[in-house]
Structure 1
Amino acid sequence: MAAPADLAGVQVLAFDIFGTVVDWHGSIVRELQELYPEVDGDAFARAWRAGYQPAMARVRSGELGWTRIDELHRLILDQILPPFGLAHLDEAARRHLNRVWHRLDPWPDSVAGLTRLKARYTLCTLSNGNLGLLTNMAKRAGLPWDCVLSAEVFRAYKPDPATYLGVANVFDLAPAQVMLVAAHHDDLAGARACGLRTAYIERPLEFGAGHPKEVAPRPGNDLHCASLLALADRLGC
């Protein structure tokens, strides 16, 4: 099977990571159950993630200077520990827990899907996660990236155009030769506004089985797929 004719020019697939390639919610819940079984892992994971956009907004507004996601995750963590009864954690325990984001597990289809796609396309990350985090995650999870790119490289958080256009610039390509693959419509809309092609991946359990996410197709995306294996099918890999 060949890729759709109108996508024949795509050379690079850039991937959102949190929620698209790795299961942040399930991974955090599992680790909390092992370390602190008295804590509601589902609520803790969602509270931690809820602080993500507001923390990045502080950087975008200039309230904070450039701050990596590792440090933003730590700011959020320190805020949510007391309400969950974990204010007593010492520095070593806080640092270890904060690095759970480096240890996120891939969705079951991710490694096999990426491996198939890699046979035809150059694969890179395009995540707000910092370079060390993304590299450690890939090493542990076996994610076969050709290149690790991050908001850290461009000193801008998605959906800043500098991130999407930055990928095209890195590979000396036109924006339409890059496809963003993501499970978040706002991310895809930002990429589309910069001229990138877009593929939506359904991740209905991103926020856990108790909080299913609506994943119906929306106009504008070039592809809508149930998994990365389905994306490989659609692209003829």
Structure 2
Amino acid sequence: MTLVRPEVVAFDVNETLLDLAPVRARLVELDQPADLLSTVFARTLLTGFATAAAGTWCRFRDAFDAALAQACDLSPADRARVADTFLELVPHPDVEPALRRLTAAGVRVVTLTHGSPGVAEAGLERGGVTPLVQRSLSSEVIRAWKPAPAVYLWAAGVCDVPPERMALVAAHAWDVHGALRAGLSGAWFPRSERAYPAVYDPAALVAGDLAGAVDALLALPTA
């Protein structure tokens, strides 16, 4: 696929844009180890992916609750308190300048998550970057989880652009892999992951940080 400068850039939300530190802090408040979040978040994704692969579906919040119940002995009420903390997330410090650079260049910015509706919007509002994002999309609308190709194609359709004119930016390699398989371009940069796995389709763009991912997208030819 010949890469061209995207008209729309979709951003993954959890970890890519929003810092999960408040969720970790809430777990610590409930006498859980700080490193539990990594296990629970990974198991949440595993639960969602498994239901999708098996032909069923569950909400992100339900998958997160199930992962918590498997990993620790918190009560249902305390698990709900932890899940509610997703509405308290804030953007990483590098997010605002990256989004501003895209919008200044005339590129539309959206978010694309399989997380709970409202989480992205709350975090963007808290970070003061809502005006930089045209819309927030959750694949709960179509009862699907990334990295299913249908999610990325749905997002491109909602944004009224062909897939090749949309790019996904994510700190999760599996998400970029899904976008590439759907015909989008993709840019990966590290947060909790250290490298882009060789078992996935080669990322269209690999950068050292979020700013580098945005710069690489803007450097692509317009046609």
State the TM-score, normalized to the length of structure 1.
0.78
3-state SS, counterpart of residue 15 of structure 2: coil
One-letter identity of the residue aligned with 2:4: L
Q: Is the 8 A contact 1:77 1:98 kept in 2?
A: no
Are residues 72 and 192 of structure 1, via their aligned partners in 2, closer, same or farther at CA, if it must alter by over 3 Å? same
Please report how far the alpha carbon of residue 192 of structure 1 lies from its aligned counterpart in structure 2 after TM superposition.
Answer: 0.9
3-state SS, counterpart of residue 131 of structure 1: coil
Alignment of 1:87-236 (within 5 A): 87=74, 89=75, 91=77, 93-119=78-104, 120-144=106-130, 145-203=133-191, 206=192, 213-215=193-195, 220-234=202-216, 235=218
Query: Which of these residues, 5, 8, 31, is aligned with residue 12 of structure 1?
Result: 8
Please report how far the alpha carbon of residue 23 of structure 1 lies from its aligned counterpart in structure 2 after TM superposition.
Answer: 2.6
Most deviating of 116-125 and 156-165: 116-125
C-alpha separation between the residues in 2 aligned to 1:114 and 1:127?
17
Please report how far the alpha carbon of residue 11 of structure 1 lies from its aligned counterpart in structure 2 after TM superposition.
Answer: 0.5
Q: How many residues in Structure 1 have an aligned counterpart in Structure 2?
A: 212
Q: Is the 8 A contact 2:173 2:197 kept in 1?
A: no
Are residues 97 and 6 of structure 1, via their aligned partners in 2, closer, same or farther at CA, if it must alter by over 3 Å? closer
Q: Is the 8 A contact 2:169 2:188 kept in 1?
A: yes
Please report how far the alpha carbon of residue 122 of structure 1 lies from its aligned counterpart in structure 2 after TM superposition.
Answer: 1.0
Most deviating of 178-187 and 140-149: 140-149
RMSD: 2.5
Q: Is the 8 A contact 1:70 1:133 kept in 2?
A: no
C-alpha separation between the residues in 2 aligned to 1:23 and 1:107?
6
Please report how far the alpha carbon of residue 121 of structure 1 lies from its aligned counterpart in structure 2 after TM superposition.
Answer: 1.2
State the TM-score, normalized to the length of structure 2.
0.83
Could you give the per-residue CA deviations for residues 57-108 of structure 1, whole angstroms, max 9, x where no partner exists? 3431457x542212221222233331xxxx3x462x4322211222223222
C-alpha separation between the residues in 1 aligned to 2:118 and 2:82?
16
Structure 1 residues not aligned, in runs of 5+: 207-212
Could you give the per-residue CA deviations for residues 115-174 of structure 1, whole angstroms, max 9, x where no partner exists? 221222111111111212222222223343211111112221111111010111112211
Structure 2 residues not aligned, in runs of 5+: none
Are residues 223 and 57 of structure 1, via their aligned partners in 2, closer, same or farther at CA, if it must alter by over 3 Å? closer
3-state SS, counterpart of residue 79 of structure 2: helix
C-alpha separation between the residues in 1 aligned to 2:42 and 2:177?
21
One-letter identity of the residue aligned with 1:41: A
Q: Compare CA radii of gyration and give the structure with the larger one.
A: 1
One-letter identity of the residue aligned with 1:182: A
